[in-house]
């Protein structure tokens, strides 16, 4: 059927900031959809508040709005643009929820706008628990017994009826927020209460627990001609009970016979047909391992994380095809973009095994609750492809980029058998490593099966890996054994741990015996049809399918899984580098392991190697492709970390070289550099003992910043104010004990400033200088960044520009450099230099209209910045004010303290852009999910050191008509200073107290600063957690509080008396 000609302009809704449960996959699907729609000749209007995405690039849509994703702003866009249709199914749950809200607001009727893809009815059928259950009942498809509840009592009544264990699932929430497993009444009370809170409709589903069933997913597509197909099915290694986003997943299913496969396929197709979805849909099913009984768990009537995974796993671009279906094309007339000879109406045939691993944030949040359940906790994921399960699995493990890339966690070795058994049942993020340890101890497989319900198929496979490991430990490493290990997916580093050889020895041995992988193509059809997709994975097989061209090539290393501190920003930079290389006529080759991203869309680069980002894996591609060199500066720390090994093995690093990287990252060398340039930096020293630390601290004066040397993303960094706190820090962290040096630096409070610059060694340009709202001490990724700067005078700015240029030249920077400064008492100090792309690149590129990664890539490849038409120094600043506001996923991470500090905690960012700072901030805060009320109340509970400053803020809120609540100490102080503070009791009181105030949603903001000691279970911690769990903004930096106060002040009109108490106010 031909595409529709009655619509011309389509509004696409993005998914907004990255949070747990909604990550880069929607950048990938959104970008694909926009491109597909434009390919078909439609005008695309895009709304997304996430500046870090490729999707919001000016090249992706005709008109891009980076405005808050709320009904208010979308209504304004609709009013202004008058689109004919709206496509909400590519923006995750955010997109769907907005579609429902827009429909209910009446705006779509007022300015006739048609909903494409999935009808509102279908969205509600799939999302509303009651309607969904009714539909399944009508279709004769089984769902677990359950009850819809709106109160805790209803939940208890249901439990009485069917017994425990039960699962609570809140309605309309992302990634299962607020849900969980309940084994007793106390669990049920607590989880239902929080679930009702999270659900925007105050509704939860209480369901019989079917934990232990196989969890199977089908990605299905349907067009308006009712033609429906399965793109991919997937099997979770972790059975039902652990959120699929947190499970290790394989594709295709491994333990299903054709009958089971077809039975579940039929059910999935029946559902997508019943929902009349025109596009993609995800169906999750639970299959009894002992019969043909199954249940439908969930249906997502939209593209999802799983569909991004399925797209990369099969090569079938679900979002692109879904967009084409939405405008009326049918599957049998859309060409298969992979083969280019066949059509999209087919089901991909895989001839490899795909494994997906979740990437958890617990390397950052060590105190967080790591137990896995129905609430997703992973921030990102990796995918690996192999010709056997073992190969795919081990490639996946080393793609995670933590824990030495090994299927081995040293801490497990110290656990007793019973501890291991307990942990393997309780299942936290380390479960698979605990399992490995049990296998190393030759624990009975059948018992492990009984405890975990992980299918015996997978247990046997994992055991094969461990058995070979044990064999390798005992035997001399022969050529045959080495080949066997490589075929099973062992990495050289893994072999280094197991054997007595070094990684380099093993590499040499392999080269001598010609043990190298070949590359196989992902072609959607198991080689049945000729295909020219430049999408490859490695395997120790016979035939080499990756044909090397005679063009000049460059390999760009991506950034691997999305994690805190290394997000989608780096994918943005990677993609732009690749595009620049293509423009320059190079063959641009990309290596990455993240299935969610745009960079791993095979149509972006000339060639995609979907591989782990380890030295070994990169070397294999280098050896085959023989590129001019490798670019490591866009892929975050993951890529930069490869520079050393690649240089050692004689590979050319294009752009800033290893020596410069080392001079910026090595503490001593860095200090020498700044000293030689006569650039001030906070005083500090490296220490190895407590006494030494105390001596240094007293010499430079408290407060001091303490951290282990060689840290990434502010990991384990803290500000301490006295000897006690210093001692506490050194005891808590084990660096001293392990004889690792700790850095003690003077903590300078002041305005933090961040600069991203590009240099070609001759000319350095600064597209923009950003200033942080929060003072230095809060990690730059967690601060609100403002462009252009608002509080810096010309002298300071000039000094920043000059320092940047000097550092760039001294380091011989070729490409990007990021420098963080603190302006302390009118002096500029350098805090940190990163000789690579930073997280602000996409934000800055978009607001300054300078595609920084493109220019940087040109500089890297030898073009002169001057020839591109730029002059050294700061480029002309834009007239609009833009702010980048961090977004956190604290709701999903129980037991994680929300206090902001030197360690980064945010998962994403939103943008606010307008004519004034206040307006921009307002939008940015709204876009980040903070509700800005114009009346209400604020709760203050601050540390002594902050009381004076807090008073001004409290006074400000009071003047705007807000009620002020405060805990005793704070209240006394405020009252003394003329603030009418309402005193509330501390936690534990029978009376109205801080917690009950939060629980009853009496207050709109909580301003809470950290008391000394940073104890995890302090009252402050409980207050902050309570606020998060009740969806109340908890402001832990007074700067943020002040900014919000200013925003409210400047965006509202107050009633101002002229006479007060018979006195005229002047």
Partner 1 sequence: MKRQLILEDGTTFTGEAFGDLSEKQGEIVFNTGMTGYQEILSDPSYCGQIVTMTYPLIGNYGVNRDDFESIHPSVFGLVVKELCDAPSNFRTEETLDHFLKTKGIPAISGIDTRKLTKIIRKHGTMRAILTEADKEIISAPTFVDTMTDQVKRVSTKNPYVVPGRGHRVVLVDFGMKHGILRDLTKRNCHVTVVPYNYTADQILELKPEGIMLTNGPGDPKDVPEAIDMIQAIMPHVPVFGICLGHQLISLASGADTEKMRFGHRGSNHPVKDLTIGKTHMTSQNHGYAVRRESLEGTDLELTHIAINDDSVEGVRHKQYPTFCVQYHPESSPGPEDTTYLFDQFMTNIQTAKRMNKEAL
Strand order in the sheet with 963-967: 981-984, 963-967, 937-941, 1005-1008, 1033-1035
Q: Which is nearer to partner 1, 388 or 972 (CB)?
A: 388
Asked if 127 and 300 count as a contact pair (C-beta separation under 8 A), the reply is: no
Report helix, strand or coil for 961: coil
β-pair type (814-824, 827-834): antiparallel
**294 binding partner 1? (CB under 8 A):** no
Q: Which is nearer to partner 1, 349 or 689 (CB)?
A: 349
Member of 6, 160, 543, 876 binding partner 1 (CB under 8 A): 543
**516 binding partner 1? (CB under 8 A):** no
How far, in Å, CA of 942 to CA of 1024, rounded? 12
Mask: binding to partner 1, 344-363, rule CB under 8 A, as x and -? -xxxxxxxxx----------
Residues tagged in the binding site annotation for Mn(2+): 284, 298, 300, 820, 832, 834
Total number of residues binding partner 1 (CB under 8 A)? 54
**612 binding partner 1? (CB under 8 A):** no
**715 binding partner 1? (CB under 8 A):** no
**267 binding partner 1? (CB under 8 A):** no
Minimum CB separation of residue 384 from partner 1 in Å reads 14
**442 binding partner 1? (CB under 8 A):** no
- Contacting partner 1 within 695-714 (CB under 8 A): none
Minimum CB separation of residue 75 from partner 1 in Å reads 39
Q: Which is nearer to partner 1, 233 or 851 (CB)?
A: 233
**276 binding partner 1? (CB under 8 A):** no
Minimum CB separation of residue 540 from partner 1 in Å reads 10
Report helix, strand or coil for 861: coil
**603 binding partner 1? (CB under 8 A):** no
- Contacting partner 1 within 214-243 (CB under 8 A): 225-227, 229-230
Minimum CB separation of residue 103 from partner 1 in Å reads 31
Report helix, strand or coil for 12: strand
Residues tagged in the binding site annotation: 129, 169, 175-176, 208, 210, 215, 241-243, 284, 298, 300, 707, 746, 748, 752, 777-780, 820, 832, 834
**394 binding partner 1? (CB under 8 A):** no
Residues in the chain: 1066
Q: Which is nearer to partner 1, 168 or 354 (CB)?
A: 354
**527 binding partner 1? (CB under 8 A):** yes
Q: What tokens appear for 534 in the block?
A: 């430049």
**How many CA atoms, within 13 angstroms, populate the side-chain half-sphere of residue 511?**
12
How far, in Å, CA of 161 to CA of 156, rounded? 9
β-pair type (629-631, 653-654): parallel
Minimum CB separation of residue 8 from partner 1 in Å reads 27
β-pair type (785-787, 764-772): antiparallel
**923 binding partner 1? (CB under 8 A):** no
**512 binding partner 1? (CB under 8 A):** no
**515 binding partner 1? (CB under 8 A):** no
Question: Of 11-19, 539-547, 558-566, 625-633, which segment contacts partner 1 by CB under 8 A?
Answer: 539-547
Q: Nearest-CA neighbor of 571 among 380, 778, 396, 780? A: 380
Minimum CB separation of residue 478 from partner 1 in Å reads 18
Q: Which is nearer to partner 1, 388 or 761 (CB)?
A: 388
Asked if 751 and 772 count as a contact pair (C-beta separation under 8 A), the reply is: yes
**479 binding partner 1? (CB under 8 A):** no
Minimum CB separation of residue 542 from partner 1 in Å reads 4
How far, in Å, CA of 684 to CA of 520, rounded? 52
Member of 43, 124, 150, 255 binding partner 1 (CB under 8 A): 255
Q: Which is nearer to partner 1, 183 or 343 (CB)?
A: 343
**724 binding partner 1? (CB under 8 A):** no
Q: Which is nearer to partner 1, 384 or 778 (CB)?
A: 384
Minimum CB separation of residue 269 from partner 1 in Å reads 8
β-pair type (981-984, 963-967): parallel
**317 binding partner 1? (CB under 8 A):** no
Other beta carbons within 10 Å of 1058: 7
Diameter of the chain measured on Cα atoms: 98
Q: Which is nearer to partner 1, 522 or 766 (CB)?
A: 522
**Which residues lie below 8 Å from residue 674, measured CB to CB, with a gap of 6+?**
680, 681, 830
Member of 520, 735, 814, 947 binding partner 1 (CB under 8 A): 520
Residues tagged in the binding site annotation for ATP: 129, 169, 175-176, 208, 210, 215, 241-243, 284, 298, 707, 746, 748, 752, 777-780, 820, 832
Member of 59, 79, 262, 790 binding partner 1 (CB under 8 A): 262
- Helix axis angle for 318-326 and 25-39, nearest 10°, is 40
How far, in Å, CA of 406 to CA of 29, rounded? 31
Minimum CB separation of residue 444 from partner 1 in Å reads 15
Q: Nearest-CA neighbor of 660 among 493, 877, 835? A: 835
Minimum CB separation of residue 386 from partner 1 in Å reads 9
Minimum CB separation of residue 862 from partner 1 in Å reads 40
How far, in Å, CA of 227 to CA of 277, rounded? 11
Q: Nearest-CA neighbor of 822 among 814, 830, 811? A: 830
Q: Nearest-CA neighbor of 749 among 769, 788, 721, 768? A: 721
- Contacting partner 1 within 369-388 (CB under 8 A): 387-388
Please report the sign of the dihedral spanned by the C-alpha atoms of residue 969, residue 971, residue 972, residue 977: positive
- Contacting partner 1 within 12-51 (CB under 8 A): none
Q: Which is nearer to partner 1, 419 or 471 (CB)?
A: 471
Counting other chains too, the contacts that 828-831 makes at CB distance below 8 Å and 24 or more residues apart are: 828/680, 828/753, 828/796, 828/799, 828/800, 828/803, 829/680, 829/681, 829/682, 829/748, 830/674, 830/679, 830/680, 830/681, 830/803, 831/681, 831/682, 831/752, 831/776
Asked if 608 and 632 count as a contact pair (C-beta separation under 8 A), the reply is: no
Q: Which is nearer to partner 1, 402 or 529 (CB)?
A: 529
Minimum CB separation of residue 94 from partner 1 in Å reads 33
Q: Which is nearer to partner 1, 520 or 779 (CB)?
A: 520
977 — phi, psi (to 5°)?
-95, 10
668 — phi, psi (to 5°)?
-65, -45
Q: Nearest-CA neighbor of 520 among 541, 542, 536, 540? A: 536
Please report the sign of the dihedral spanned by the C-alpha atoms of residue 619, residue 625, residue 626, residue 632: negative
Minimum CB separation of residue 388 from partner 1 in Å reads 5
**257 binding partner 1? (CB under 8 A):** yes
Q: Which is nearer to partner 1, 107 or 435 (CB)?
A: 435
Asked if 835 and 728 count as a contact pair (C-beta separation under 8 A), the reply is: no
Q: What tokens appear for 1062 in the block?
A: 């018979």
**140 binding partner 1? (CB under 8 A):** no
Strand partners of residue 772 = 785
Asked if 1029 and 966 count as a contact pair (C-beta separation under 8 A), the reply is: no
**How many CA atoms, within 13 angstroms, populate the side-chain half-sphere of residue 921?**
25
Minimum CB separation of residue 232 from partner 1 in Å reads 10
Q: Which is nearer to partner 1, 259 or 738 (CB)?
A: 259
Question: Of 41-49, 256-264, 551-559, 936-944, which segment contacts partner 1 by CB under 8 A?
Answer: 256-264
β-pair type (1033-1035, 1005-1008): parallel
Other beta carbons within 10 Å of 120: 16
Q: Contact positions toward partner 1, by CB under 8 A? A: 225-227, 229-230, 252-259, 261-262, 265-266, 269, 289-291, 330-332, 341-343, 345-353, 387-389, 455-457, 460, 520, 525-530, 541-543, 545
């Amino acid at each position: 059927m031909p595409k529709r000609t009655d619509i011309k302009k389509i509004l696409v809704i993005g998914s907004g900031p990255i949070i747990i449960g909604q990550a880069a996959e929607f950048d990938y699907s959104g970008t694909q959809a926009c491109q597909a729609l434009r390919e078909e000749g439609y005008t695309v209007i895009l709304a997304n508040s996430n500046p870090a995405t490729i999707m919001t690039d000016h090249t992706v849509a005709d008109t891009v709005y980076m405005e808050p994703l709320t009904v208010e702003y979308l209504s304004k866009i609709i009013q202004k643009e008058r689109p004919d249709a709206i496509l909400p199914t590519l923006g995750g749950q955010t997109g769907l929820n907005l579609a429902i809200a827009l429909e209910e607001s009446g705006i779509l009727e007022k300015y006739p706008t048609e909903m494409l893809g999935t009808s509102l009815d279908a969205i509600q059928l799939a999302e509303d628990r009651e309607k969904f259950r009714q539909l399944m009942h009508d279709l004769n498809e089984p769902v677990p017994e359950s009850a819809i509840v709106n109160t805790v009592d209803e939940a208890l009544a249901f439990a009485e009826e069917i017994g425990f264990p039960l699962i609570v699932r809140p309605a309309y929430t992302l990634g299962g927020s607020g849900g969980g497993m309940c084994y007793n009444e106390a669990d049920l009370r607590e989880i239902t209460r929080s679930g009702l809170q999270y659900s925007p409709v105050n509704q939860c589903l209480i369901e019989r627990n079917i934990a232990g069933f196989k969890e199977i997913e089908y990605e299905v597509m349907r067009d308006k001609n009712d033609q429906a197909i399965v793109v991919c099915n997937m099997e979770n290694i972790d059975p039902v009970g652990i959120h699929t986003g947190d499970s290790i997943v394989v594709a295709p299913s491994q333990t299903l016979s054709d009958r089971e496969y077809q039975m579940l396929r039929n059910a999935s197709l029946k559902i997508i047909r019943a929902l009349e979805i025109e596009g993609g849909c995800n169906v999750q099913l639970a299959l009894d391992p002992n019969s043909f009984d199954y249940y439908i768990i969930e249906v997502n009537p939209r593209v999802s994380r799983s569909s991004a995974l399925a797209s990369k796993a099969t090569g079938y671009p679900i979002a692109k095809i879904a967009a084409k279906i939405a405008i009326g094309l049918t599957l049998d007339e859309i060409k298969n973009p992979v083969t280019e000879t066949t059509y999209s109406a087919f089901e991909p045939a895989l001839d490899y095994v795909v494994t997906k691993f979740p990437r958890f944030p617990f390397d950052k949040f060590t105190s967080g609750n790591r137990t896995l359940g129905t609430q997703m906790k992973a921030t990102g994921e990796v995918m690996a492809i192999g010709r056997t399960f073992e190969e795919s699995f081990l490639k996946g493990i080393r793609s995670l980029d933590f824990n030495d890339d090994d299927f081995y966690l040293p801490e497990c070795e110290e656990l007793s058998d019973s501890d291991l058994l307990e942990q393997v049942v309780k299942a936290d993020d380390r479960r698979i490593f605990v399992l490995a340890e049990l296998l190393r101890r030759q624990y009975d497989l059948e018992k492990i099966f009984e405890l975990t319900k992980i299918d015996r198929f997978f247990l046997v496979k994992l055991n094969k890996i461990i058995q070979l490991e044990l064999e390798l430990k005992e035997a001399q490493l022969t050529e045959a054994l080495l080949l066997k290990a490589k075929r099973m997916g062992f990495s050289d580093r893994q072999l280094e741990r197991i054997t007595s050889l070094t990684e380099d020895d093993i590499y040499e041995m392999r080269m001598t015996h010609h043990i190298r992988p070949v590359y196989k193509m992902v072609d959607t059809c198991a080689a049945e049809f000729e295909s020219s997709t430049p999408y490859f994975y490695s395997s120790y097989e016979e035939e080499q399918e990756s044909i090397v061209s005679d063009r000049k090539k460059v390999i760009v290393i991506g950034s691997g899984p999305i994690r805190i501190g290394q997000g989608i920003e780096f994918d943005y930079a990677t993609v732009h580098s690749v595009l620049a290389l293509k423009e320059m006529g190079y063959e641009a080759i990309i290596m990455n392991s993240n299935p969610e991203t745009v960079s791993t869309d095979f149509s972006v680069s000339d060639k995609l190697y979907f591989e782990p980002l380890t030295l070994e894996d990169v070397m294999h591609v280098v050896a085959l492709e023989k590129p001019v060199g490798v670019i490591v500066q866009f892929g975050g720390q993951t890529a930069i970390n490869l520079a050393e090994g690649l240089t050692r093995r004689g590979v050319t690093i294009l752009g800033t070289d290893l020596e410069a990287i080392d001079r910026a990252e090595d503490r001593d060398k860095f200090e020498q550099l700044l000293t030689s340039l006569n650039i001030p930096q906070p005083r500090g020293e490296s220490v190895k003992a407590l006494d030494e630390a105390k001596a240094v601290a007293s010499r430079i004066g408290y407060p001091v910043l303490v951290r282990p040397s060689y840290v990434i993303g502010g990991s384990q960094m803290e500000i301490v104010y006295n000897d006690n706190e210093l001692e506490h820090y050194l005891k808590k962290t084990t660096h001293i004990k392990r004889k690792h040096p700790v850095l003690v630096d003077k903590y300078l409070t002041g305005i933090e400033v961040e600069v991203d610059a590009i240099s070609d060694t001759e000319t350095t340009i600064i597209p923009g200088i950003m200033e942080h709202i929060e003072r230095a001490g809060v990690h730059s990724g967690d601060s609100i960044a403002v462009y252009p700067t608002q509080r810096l005078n010309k002298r300071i700015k000039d000094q920043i520009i000059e320092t940047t240029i000097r550092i760039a030249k001294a380091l011989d920077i070729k490409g990007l450099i990021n420098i963080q400064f603190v302006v302390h008492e009118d002096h500029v100090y350098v805090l940190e230099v990163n000789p690579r792309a930073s997280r602000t690149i996409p934000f800055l590129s978009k607001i300054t209209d300078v595609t920084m990664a493109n220019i940087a890539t040109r500089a890297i490849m030898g073009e002169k910045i001057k020839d591109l038409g730029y002059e050294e120094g700061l480029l002309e600043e834009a007239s609009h004010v833009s702010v980048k506001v961090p977004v956190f996923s604290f709701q999903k991470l129980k037991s994680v303290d929300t206090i902001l500090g030197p360690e980064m905690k945010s998962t994403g960012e939103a943008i606010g852009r307008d004519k004034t700072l206040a307006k921009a901030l307002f939008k940015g805060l709204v876009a980040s999910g903070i509700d800005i009320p114009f009346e209400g109340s604020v709760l203050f509970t601050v540390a002594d050191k902050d009381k004076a400053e807090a008073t001004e803020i409290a006074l400000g809120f009071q003047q705007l008509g807000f009620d002020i609540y405060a805990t005793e100490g704070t209240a006394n102080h405020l009252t003394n200073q003329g603030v009418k503070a309402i005193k509330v009791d501390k936690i534990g009181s029978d009376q109205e107290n801080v917690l009950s105030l939060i629980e009853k949603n009496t207050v709109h903001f909580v301003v809470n600063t950290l008391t000394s000691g940073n104890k995890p279970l302090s009252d402050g911690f409980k207050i902050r957690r309570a606020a998060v769990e009740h969806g109340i903004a908890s402001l832990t930096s007074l700067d943020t509080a002040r900014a919000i106060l200013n925003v409210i002040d400047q965006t509202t009109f107050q009633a101002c008396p002229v006479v007060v108490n018979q006195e005229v106010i002047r």
